[in-house]
């Protein structure tokens, strides 16, 4: 794959984002959030909103900065480098993209960062929207939602939910699903916290006869996957970018450690076998960075290959992050998994990021099918 380099504007955005995050959201800030038991720093998110990040995919007419998917990917890469926790992907990317296509009234409050969305799709241990079984039973001109959702990212802090439920058919059917946009505090919704190894905000949700009106429907009844598809593609590309940035972040930390750690009177970075491993990791990160850039640009251009390139980027980024964190921890030695060092945090986030919005097998199968394999 040809190396896709940043344009001048993209390089400026990256430099600005990196400077901001290095100053206000280094890995030590993630550690502080964890120790204080909060999902993310609301003051930091407010600053992101003021800089236009929350509205990166919202049109200017709705108060957004409308910078596009490639810009969103760059921001995610830089947030991945420092393990910045925020509702950016769930709200500013997935929800904004989905609701913009549907012409929602909530875009302006997404752009300011005031309204936070969570995506309630998964019901099992794997990402499989078509297997949705949650019932949305017709009740006059409204619906009654009953069922459960698992692994809902940013769920405890969100004030609105995008919920995929079944209005007809049975689990496994791609048709018969409807997407709802509802208030997270609506009667009948219960939250159960989930402890994840990356210390991020994930919850399980149960719905007991929750009312949803026709105004809550996003897109068309029984065609919810089509309504959600733009948001899912955008979210997968953005998450790939975060994992790409995470890979670069742990690689930089590891390289610094190789330059300072001594064994047998020599810096371990002078050992050829470690040099070869570091060079291999660098090459993998470069190829993955190109795949991430290609996905973002395809989304901006409305390319028919956007879904494929988003899956390619997510698959590659998942594998590259796995390699990067394994090499990082191993080159640090046993201390790499201790809480005193940051390397273990990158490994834990990479593991959770690998599963969310489809794991390697899910996306590799899409790429393979496109190639006729």
Residue 20 falls inside a structural domain: yes
Range of the domain at 151: 119-222
Please indicate, yes or no, whether residues 129 and 106 belong to a single structural domain of this protein.
Answer: no
Residue 326 falls in which region: left (phi positive, over 0), alpha (psi -120 to 50) or beta: alpha
Please indicate, yes or no, whether residues 262 and 187 belong to a single structural domain of this protein.
Answer: no
How far apart, in whole angstroms, are the C-alpha atoms of residue 15 and residue 49?
18
Please indicate, yes or no, whether residues 168 and 126 belong to a single structural domain of this protein.
Answer: yes
Residue 1 falls inside a structural domain: no
Strand runs labelled E in 219-292: 262-263, 266-267
CATH of the domain at 27: 1.10.540.10
CATH of the domain at 209: 2.40.110.10
How far apart, in whole angstroms, are the C-alpha atoms of residue 79 and residue 84?
5
Taking the CB of residue 115, how many other CB atoms lie within 10 A of it? 18
Please indicate, yes or no, whether residues 211 and 232 belong to a single structural domain of this protein.
Answer: no
Nearest to 237 by CA among 304, 302, 295: 295
User: pLDDT digits over 100-137, tens only?
Assistant: 999 888 999 999 999 999 999 999 989 999 999 999 99
Please indicate, yes or no, whether residues 44 and 107 belong to a single structural domain of this protein.
Answer: yes
Please indicate, yes or no, whether residues 68 and 99 belong to a single structural domain of this protein.
Answer: yes
Last residue of a domain, one of 170, 198, 222: 222
Residue 3 falls inside a structural domain: no
**Three-state DSSP class for residue 5:** coil
How confident is the model at residue 338, as a pLDDT?
79
Please indicate, yes or no, whether residues 236 and 352 belong to a single structural domain of this protein.
Answer: yes
Nearest to 250 by CA among 326, 338, 197, 177: 326
Please indicate, yes or no, whether residues 257 and 363 belong to a single structural domain of this protein.
Answer: yes
Last residue of a domain, one of 115, 143, 170: 115
| Beta strands 189-194; 135-139: pairing state | unpaired
How far apart, in whole angstroms, are the C-alpha atoms of residue 301 and residue 135?
36
Length of the chain: 373
* Tens digit of each residue's pLDDT, the chain (373 residues): 445 788 899 999 999 999 999 999 999 999 999 999 898 999 999 999 999 999 999 999 999 999 999 999 999 999 999 999 999 999 999 999 999 999 888 999 999 999 999 999 999 989 999 999 999 999 998 999 999 999 999 999 999 999 999 999 999 999 999 999 999 999 999 999 999 999 999 999 999 999 999 999 999 999 999 999 999 999 999 999 999 999 999 999 988 887 877 777 787 767 788 788 889 999 999 999 999 999 999 999 999 999 999 999 999 999 999 999 998 887 778 777 778 888 889 999 999 999 999 999 999 999 999 988 7
Last residue of a domain, one of 222, 254, 288: 222
Please indicate, yes or no, whether residues 316 and 260 belong to a single structural domain of this protein.
Answer: yes
Residue 2 falls inside a structural domain: no
Please indicate, yes or no, whether residues 233 and 358 belong to a single structural domain of this protein.
Answer: yes
Please indicate, yes or no, whether residues 177 and 92 belong to a single structural domain of this protein.
Answer: no
How confident is the model at residue 345, as a pLDDT?
93
CATH of the domain at 346: 1.20.140.10
User: Between 272-301 and 306-332, two packed helices, what is the crossing angle to 10 degrees?
Assistant: 160
**Three-state DSSP class for residue 164:** strand
How far apart, in whole angstroms, are the C-alpha atoms of residue 231 and residue 226?
10
Total domain count for the chain? 3
Please indicate, yes or no, whether residues 363 and 260 belong to a single structural domain of this protein.
Answer: yes
Residue 324 falls inside a structural domain: yes
Over 216-229, what HEC string results?
Answer: HEECCCCEHHHHHH
| Nearby residues of 338 by Cβ (< 8 Å), 6 or more positions away | 344
């Amino acid at each position: 794959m040809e190396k896709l380099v940043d344009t001048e504007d993209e390089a400026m955005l990256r430099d600005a984002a990196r400077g901001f995050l290095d100053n206000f959201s280094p890995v030590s800030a993630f550690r502080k959030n964890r120790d204080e038991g909060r999902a993310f720093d609301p003051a930091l998110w407010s600053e992101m909103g003021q800089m236009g990040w929350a509205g990166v995919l919202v049109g200017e007419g709705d108060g957004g900065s409308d910078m596009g998917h490639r810009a969103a990917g760059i921001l995610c890469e830089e947030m991945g480098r420092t393990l910045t926790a925020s509702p950016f992907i769930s709200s500013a990317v997935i929800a904004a993209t989905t609701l913009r296509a549907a012409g929602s009234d909530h875009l302006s409050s997404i752009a300011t960062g005031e309204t936070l969305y969570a995506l309630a799709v998964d019901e099992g241990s794997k990402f499989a929207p078509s297997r949705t079984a949650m019932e949305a039973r017709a009740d006059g001109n409204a619906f009654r939602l009953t069922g459960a959702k698992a692994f809902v990212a940013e769920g405890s802090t969100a004030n609105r939910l995008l919920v995929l439920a079944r209005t007809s058919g049975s689990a496994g059917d791609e048709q018969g699903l409807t997407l709802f946009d509802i208030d997270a505090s609506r009667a009948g919704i219960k939250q159960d916290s989930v402890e994840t190894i990356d210390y991020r905000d994930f919850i399980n949700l149960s719905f007991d006869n929750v009312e949803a009106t026709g105004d809550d429907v996003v897109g068309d009844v029984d065609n919810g996957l089509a309504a959600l598809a733009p948001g899912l593609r955008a979210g997968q590309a953005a998450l790939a970018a975060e994992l790409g940035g995470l890979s670069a972040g742990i690689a930089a930390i590891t390289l610094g450690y190789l330059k300072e750690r001594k064994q047998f009177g020599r810096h371990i970075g002078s050992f050829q076998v470690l040099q070869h491993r570091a060079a291999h990791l660098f090459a993998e990160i470069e190829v993955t960075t190109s795949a991430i850039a290609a996905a973002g640009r395809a989304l901006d251009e409305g390319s028919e290959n956007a879904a494929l390139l988003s899956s390619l980027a997510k698959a590659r980024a998942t594998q590259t992050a796995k390699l990067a964190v394994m090499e990082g921890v191993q080159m640090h030695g046993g201390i790499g998994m201790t809480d005193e060092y940051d390397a273990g945090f990158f490994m834990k986030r990479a593991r959770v990021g690998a599963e969310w919005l489809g794991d390697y097998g899910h996306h590799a199968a899409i790429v393979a099918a496109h190639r006729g394999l």
